[in-house]
Structure 1
Amino acid sequence: MIVLTASGTGGHVYPAIAVAQYLKEKEFSFLIEQGRVSQSILDRHQYDYEAFPIFRKKLWSYFVGFFKAFFYFRNHNVQYVYSFGGYVTIPIVLAACFCRIPVMLFEQNTIPGRANRLLSRCVSKICLSFQESEKYFNKKAIVGGNPIRSVYLSDSVVDSLLSLSWKLGKRCLVFGGSQGASSLNSFIESHYEWFESQGVSLIHIMGEASYRDVYADQPQIICDSASGVKRVIVPYIDDMKRLYEWADYVVSRAGATSVSELMVYRKPALLIPYPHAVDNHQYYNACAFVDLGFGIMALQDEVSKSVLKNLFQFELNIDSEDVARFHGWKDLVS
């Protein structure tokens, strides 16, 4: 049996789901924390899990988590643990090490999370998304990419979007990550007509909270009877794969999962790092993305029409060897 453990955000749990999809018929289970979005994500993907009462600022809960994980490992034939970062993984990985179960860490960002840095001393292998992370770890670290799901949830909204009669011209997808991004949304909203003037069709994923504040539950499809659909605004999308395939260009934050998806689907992008991310890791994710030749970057207060024009003139300049490394994680978990 294989155990996958991840903290409660989509950025941690989606790579774990990608590995679960790759494992297919092998027996596995998830160990996660109670009360976080990871529970609903795993429910929707119909995966079994155990949710432990581990809380970031309550030290006693780490001891509870350690003993719960310890007895879980004693009562199950666990051969390997794959850990995807976040504070919840600390007691679970330590319990696995105590039980002498091999552990592999997955690090999604260029600047490693604090939990992974702490746990790196007692694990068997570390799979990195970016070469820039190697300096934080020892020789156990291998650049293998950030696992990306091969199968996304079915999505009737995407079915509807792709069935529309879109205006001819360039297509741009805009999103701010699973939680949306208010400042990015505001900039894009104020430039809707500019996109139209440039002949660029737009799908703008606002995030559920921002969408409700502006549009309630009303669908937003802007079209011209003569030329077709010019712009669609939606709150959330499950099946991002088909929207990446629809888009010519992408504007987004620089979260690890978004960056990895853009690289796997080879989409030129403008990345706007979230300025308040822990250790400013989104900025360094964006720098690595740009260095690999996938797109351009602008800080939040630097975004302008000229920056967008640069995006629409950008051409990919990537090395096939770099792309191949993004799939190296598959060899590590096989």
Structure 2
Amino acid sequence: MSTMTTDDFTLADTPLDGQCIALTSGGTGGHMFPAVSLARALVRRGATVVFFTDARAARYTEDVEGVTTILLPAGGIAGKGLRGRISGMLRLALGTWQARRHLKKIRPAAVIGFGGYASIPATVAAKSLRIPLAIHEQNAVLGRANRVVAGAAARIATSFRDVRLIDDADKPRVVWTGNPVRQEIAALSAAPYNAPTADGPVNVLITGGSQGARVLSEILPKAIVNLPDALKSRLHITQQARAEDLDQVAKTYEGSGIDVTLKPFFDDIAQRLRDAHLVIARSGASTVAELTIAGRPSLLVPLPHAIDDHQRYNAEQVEQAGGAWMLSQERFTVDIVSERLAKLLTGPAALALAAEGARSAARTNAAERLADMVLDLLGLNPAGTPVDLKQETTHVQGDLA
């Protein structure tokens, strides 16, 4: 893999002896991980991949063989003051001009966007050049960057069965692919859920993303310590917390008799997820995808200030499938949480039913489904023979009904 600026890329750097596919994504892990998963899947199928993103995201593609990364200027607009919006718009305009210049030289067979403001330059340039375009939406609400080009996208891949803010005219082009998860998490799709027994251990996994969630560190330990002694003696708590919060969290649990493991990051999260009887977490797209693939019941606390309230809609989708219980941060108090946990952790039948519900909301093999979508976009099925795209689109829409 090589990383380039917009000034040192030439056509010779991307051999076009096979299909060349351009991918573009915002710089956060939630956008980048599914994009990189698709890149790997396309390379395995013999494609050449060119990746457009900004400087924040270059590290995500450093170890991906067969991928050339081009860095473009981009800037956010949402939530900015006037000066910030003007600066963001200027950077997006410059990035779009540079993306257009590169795409004209590379001539990719298709451009696939994964949202985030850093994806706007390449997707808008693809639209203007009439290059076949598809987008992937990780959340249960179509993101703002994807909304810019959704009308021009030949395919709109979604992580959830139902996604808000997709125009009715665009819905026939929707394909439910799911959201790719890490290989070690994907392997849990075959791992059975074993509900806690009446007197056996109860494993609770608390995670708030790579940086932890402060409200979980502040409220949950107090709520758990308030549980009945008979239940506390059976609890095994694995909690992710910010490094700066670890001491305070540890003090809250101190003397409670509860077995607690605290870390800012767990590198064996797949093992801990497999063993969990209940997961308490935010409801970001990646977290929800992992919970549903693993088939683990959860108590989800949406981030209240997420753009377009997408975490709430993510949680609602799993809750409606019977796989989770959603609790707003406004109601996430010590008393309410303690009462809710006392009921959940002593109800093995309800936990087992929720595990089934979570798994019913999953979409496995998402990266390969996305790769298949790209091939269909090019008029080829996975075996390499032409397919009728109109017929395929109709089939997909029927599957979503």
TM-score by length of 2: 0.69
CA positional deviation for 1:147 = 2.2
Q: Does 1:27 align with 2:57?
A: no
User: Aligned partners of 2:331, 2:343: CA distance in 1, in Å?
Assistant: 13
Deviations along 1:286-330, whole A, 9 cap, x unmatched?
A: 111101121111111323112223443323243977545774545
Gaps spanning 5+ residues in structure 2: where?
A: 1-19, 77-84, 186-199, 376-401
Q: Which residue in 2 is equivalent to 1:190?
A: 222
Q: Which residue in 2 is equivalent to 1:164?
A: none
CA positional deviation for 1:247 = 2.0
Q: Which residue in 1 is equivalent to 2:195?
A: none
User: Aligned partners of 1:239, 1:24: CA distance in 2, in Å?
Assistant: 28
**Aligned partner (choices 213, 229, 234) of residue 181 of structure 1:** 213
Q: Does 1:199 align with 2:234?
A: yes
User: Aligned partners of 1:91, 1:141: CA distance in 2, in Å?
Assistant: 22
Q: Quick check: 1:21–1:149 contact (8 Å CA) kept in 2? A: no
1:202 is aligned with what amino acid? Answer: I
Q: Which residue in 2 is equivalent to 1:318?
A: 357
2:279 is aligned with what amino acid? Answer: V
User: Aligned partners of 2:236, 2:206: CA distance in 1, in Å?
Assistant: 11
User: Aligned partners of 1:76, 1:151: CA distance in 2, in Å?
Assistant: 35
Identity of aligned residues (%): 27
Q: Which residue in 1 is equivalent to 2:61?
A: 42
CA positional deviation for 1:130 = 2.1
Q: Which residue in 1 is equivalent to 2:98?
A: 68
2:69 is aligned with what amino acid? Answer: Y
1:332 is aligned with what amino acid? Answer: M
Q: Which residue in 1 is equivalent to 2:177?
A: 144
- SS for the counterpart of 2:117 is coil
Deviations along 1:224-269, whole A, 9 cap, x unmatched?
A: 9xx9x92211112355433322322211001111111111111111
CA positional deviation for 1:112 = 1.2
Q: Quick check: 1:170–1:199 contact (8 Å CA) kept in 2? A: yes
Q: Quick check: 1:4–1:83 contact (8 Å CA) kept in 2? A: yes
Q: Which residue in 2 is equivalent to 1:283?
A: 312
User: Aligned partners of 2:274, 2:107: CA distance in 1, in Å?
Assistant: 41
Deviations along 1:204-241, whole A, 9 cap, x unmatched?
A: 111xxx2135449xx99x999xx9x9221111235543
Q: Quick check: 1:21–1:151 contact (8 Å CA) kept in 2? A: no
Q: Does 1:82 align with 2:103?
A: no
Deviations along 1:155-191, whole A, 9 cap, x unmatched?
A: xxxxxxxxxxxxx612111111233211111112324
User: Aligned partners of 1:254, 1:230: CA distance in 2, in Å?
Assistant: 26
CA positional deviation for 1:277 = 0.9
Change (3 A) 1:318 1:191: closer
Q: Which residue in 2 is equivalent to 1:51?
A: 71
User: Aligned partners of 1:212, 1:300: CA distance in 2, in Å?
Assistant: 21
Q: Quick check: 2:203–2:235 contact (8 Å CA) kept in 1? A: yes
Larger radius of gyration: 2
Q: Could you say which structure has the higher helix fraction? A: 2
CA positional deviation for 1:272 = 0.5
Deviations along 1:9-61, whole A, 9 cap, x unmatched?
A: 11111111222233342321321112x3x333334667642222211132111
Q: Which residue in 2 is equivalent to 1:12?
A: 31
Q: Quick check: 2:318–2:358 contact (8 Å CA) kept in 1? A: no
Change (3 A) 1:306 1:44: farther
User: Aligned partners of 2:182, 2:68: CA distance in 1, in Å?
Assistant: 17
Q: Which residue in 2 is equivalent to 1:160?
A: none
User: Aligned partners of 1:253, 1:12: CA distance in 2, in Å?
Assistant: 17
Instruction: Name the Cα RMSD after superposition.
Output: 3.0
Change (3 A) 1:230 1:21: farther
Q: Quick check: 1:264–1:326 contact (8 Å CA) kept in 2? A: no
Change (3 A) 1:246 1:321: closer
Q: Quick check: 1:134–1:141 contact (8 Å CA) kept in 2? A: no
User: Aligned partners of 1:27, 1:65: CA distance in 2, in Å?
Assistant: 22
**Aligned partner (choices 99, 112, 117) of residue 129 of structure 2:** 99
User: Aligned partners of 2:293, 2:280: CA distance in 1, in Å?
Assistant: 16
Q: Quick check: 2:205–2:276 contact (8 Å CA) kept in 1? A: yes
User: Aligned partners of 1:127, 1:309: CA distance in 2, in Å?
Assistant: 39
Gaps spanning 5+ residues in structure 1: where?
A: 153-167
Q: What is the number of equivalent residue pairs in this alignment?
A: 308
Q: Which residue in 2 is equivalent to 1:300?
A: 329
Q: Quick check: 1:108–1:146 contact (8 Å CA) kept in 2? A: yes
Q: Does 1:257 align with 2:286?
A: yes
User: Aligned partners of 1:293, 1:180: CA distance in 2, in Å?
Assistant: 26
User: Aligned partners of 2:52, 2:233: CA distance in 1, in Å?
Assistant: 48
Q: Quick check: 1:17–1:149 contact (8 Å CA) kept in 2? A: no
Deviations along 1:65-84, whole A, 9 cap, x unmatched?
A: 11221122223242222211
- SS for the counterpart of 2:183 is coil
1:277 is aligned with what amino acid? Answer: A
